[in-house]
Amino acid sequence: MSSLDFSHTSKTDRALFEKRMSAHFAVLFPLLIDVYGHRYDFYYHLQELTQTLLNGLSSRSRALKKRDGERLAEPQWFRQENMLGMACYVDLFAGNLTHLQSRIPYLKDLGVTYLHLMPLYAAPEGDSDGGYAVSDYRTVDRRLGTMRDLSALAEALRNEGISLVLDFVFNHTSDEHPWALAAQQGDSQYQDYYYLFDDRRIPDEYEKNLREIFPQVRRGNFTWNENTQKWVWTTFNSFQWDLNYSNPEVFTAIVGEMLFLANIGCDALRLDALAFIWKEMGTDCENQHKAHVLIKAFNACLQIAAPAVVFKSEAIVHPDEVNKYIAKDECQLSYNPLLMALIWNSLATRKTRLLTHSMQKSFRITDDCAWVNYVRCHDDIGWTFDDAVAWDLGINPQDHRHFLNQFFTGRFDGSFASGVAFAENPSTGDCRVCGSLASLCGVELALMEHDDAALTTAIKRVLLVHSIILSIGGIPLLYSGDELGLLNDYGYRNDPAKTHDDRWVQRIPIDDDAIQQLTTQGDYHQIIYDGIKRMVAIRKSHAVFGSSQTRILRVDNEHCFAFRRYAASAKSAEQLTVIVNFSEHAQTVNIAEGQLCGVDLLSHPTETVKPHKTIAMAPYQTRWILH
Ligand code: GLC
Ligand code: GLC
């Protein structure tokens, strides 16, 4: 076996590499053994991987190595009260990467410290699943700019205290990725990068237990490929080929791509569709044990070559499974799809039992990790609550999901929402929901009906949902455009590359003039923008919004949701009690745990809430009571 090639490595880097290997190899090795240890060529692949890690570390810039040191010294940076996330598409938000630099003042004005740029890599023309079909991880989509532009942007953001988050789309590549092209030309080495089958025998066997993610565009999980005369595993669209992680060469190759992304200068990688990366016959091939092992192995690789970078889990699955990805040695950050879905549920039902019980069960995670709390994103809303919790409360989960779909697509009598049904399954009738936050909150309908009172109420809903993600603990993540109350954009229906994918209804372009106008013209856009900005500013000025703990409280009013934030150590005695009224009627609340005496940071002028008193809640009011 050849030894490691240090010829491109400085002495200092070599020492650093050896130090990090000594610290983390003991973690990495058993993980690799678990997945690949049975292979006769295991040590060959281990050697290749080690070289990949060394190359990754050696090509990391001095500035990023400094960043590694800073982040290691302050591993909880993502739990601070100053954190505010935003996710946006480069083209929709700013046209291209260069112009995005000129949006930094806007981001700073709002308080953004974490910017997730939706996938910006080379991708097929036409439909590329919004960039989630990657043809080359090392090239920027030329409509957005170049890798140089991206590095410049990363540096500019870093200088302004904004962390860059990039997608790590590692479950699949596009069918135009060089690996997929080689596979299509018959290269067996690259055919082994994917799951290809000569006939339907094995696919049919797998299919017995698999979900269908986009049944509106293709039934099943496999696509016939003419070039190879084989069936290809394609969980998502037919042009997204699932990578075969049972092949250790794939793991090493993807580590190389991951370190390339890390070395651009991002602070977090969003692990796209991570639940699907391991396939196991006889299971639904989601959330498999080895998926966790692989993610931990990727994480250990980061600790060796680029430890400033953390992982964010994108698992939109059963809440118990979501939580299993969250660990210091796996994903330090995770989307919180349960909170997201149940905030919408409470808006529809005006009831909070499911939200309260579910959060009491699932919100708690370890202190070295954090939730990324969001209300809308570029994807559909799936009702991924726990059926068992619903049954306990006497709710039939299937019927309830049907109700929620009806409600948010505006088919339910009295609904305020203007959503669009997504991925309707012709066999089961299941669907999920799309729509912009403001449209789902009722702004669109109120405007259409020229109903001022309904508009005022809808604006309150928009602010209410943000008041929760800004205070509950973790990184609040805004979806670009929501801070301006943008409405559904139905333009995608005229675009042949988009019309079959209704998620485009909430992927809305905006330009400089519009931003300028919407933030100043005095209508609902500005009310929403100013309202969110004000809450962000309050969040940033009190440490209790940061790394303190969260306890979900029981309240005696079924329309209200409450939680308390308190410092884990005795360092700060400050506590925050948040109470939210999900109904359009005034309510009163008694908090069972502890007596409240404090000031409501959200009321103006700041109101004192007295002990022993029943607390009055106006329609859709949130109180942030500091005590
Ligand atoms: C993730 C993305 C979604 C995409 C899918 C496949 O769920 O959020 O937009 O379609 O992965 O990459
Ligand atoms: C499914 C997947 C999720 C993906 C979404 C895209 O819900 O579980 O990962 O984001 O589909 O629509």
CATH number of the domain that residue 12 is part of: 3.20.20.80
The letter for the amino acid at 547 is S
Spatial CB neighbours of 251, under 8 Å, sequence gap ≥ 6: 35, 36, 45, 49, 245, 294, 297
Give 22 Cα–ligand 1 centroid separation in angstroms.
36
Q: Is residue 361 part of a domain?
A: no
Spatial CB neighbours of 386, under 8 Å, sequence gap ≥ 6: 318, 319, 320, 338, 358, 361, 362
Assess whether 32 and 62 both reside in one domain.
yes
Assess whether 127 and 236 both reside in one domain.
no
Give 280 Cα–ligand 1 centroid separation in angstroms.
21
The residue nearest atom 4 of ligand 1, judged by CA position, is 132
Of 379, 422, 479, the residue with max ligand 1 atoms within 8 A of its CB, to mutate for a pocket test, comes to 379
Q: Is residue 376 part of a domain?
A: no
CATH code of the domain in which 570 resides: 2.60.40.1180
Question: Strands 196-197 and 230-233: what pairing?
Answer: antiparallel
Quote the pLDDT of residue 570: 57
Q: Last residue of a domain, which of 507, 541, 575?
A: 541
Ligand 1 pocket, 217 CB below 6 A? no
Question: Strands 333-335 and 310-313: what pairing?
Answer: parallel
Which atom of ligand 2 lies at the shortest distance from residue 423's CA?
12
Ligand 1 pocket, 149 CB below 6 A? no
Quote the pLDDT of residue 472: 98
Assess whether 527 and 454 both reside in one domain.
yes
Ligand 1 pocket, 215 CB below 6 A? no
Quote the pLDDT of residue 605: 80
Assess whether 163 and 187 both reside in one domain.
no
Ligand 1 pocket, 325 CB below 6 A? no
State the helix-helix crossing angle for 147-159 and 248-265, rounded to 10 degrees: 60
Ligand 2 pocket, 337 CB below 6 A? no
Tally the domains of the chain: 4
Flag residues of the chain having pLDDT under 70.
Answer: 1-2, 569-572, 594-595
444 catalytic per annotation: no
314 catalytic per annotation: yes
Q: Which is catalytic among the residues 267, 314, 330, 430?
A: 314
Contact call for residues 487 and 436 (beta carbons, < 8 A): yes
Q: Is the pTM of this model over 0.85?
A: yes
Assess whether 537 and 555 both reside in one domain.
no
The residue nearest atom 10 of ligand 1, judged by CA position, is 129
Q: Is residue 504 part of a domain?
A: yes
- For residue 513, give both structure tokens: 């003039």
Q: Is residue 373 part of a domain?
A: no
DSSP 81-104: TT--EEEE-HHHHHSSHHHHHTTH
Assess whether 460 and 513 both reside in one domain.
yes
Contact call for residues 526 and 515 (beta carbons, < 8 A): no
Q: Last residue of a domain, which of 541, 559, 587?
A: 541
Q: Last residue of a domain, which of 482, 507, 541?
A: 541
Ligand 2 pocket, 273 CB below 6 A? yes
Give 160 Cα–ligand 2 centroid separation in angstroms.
33
Domain that holds residue 187: 172-242
Ligand 2 pocket, 316 CB below 6 A? yes
Residue whose C-alpha is closest to residue 352's, from 551, 557, 591: 557
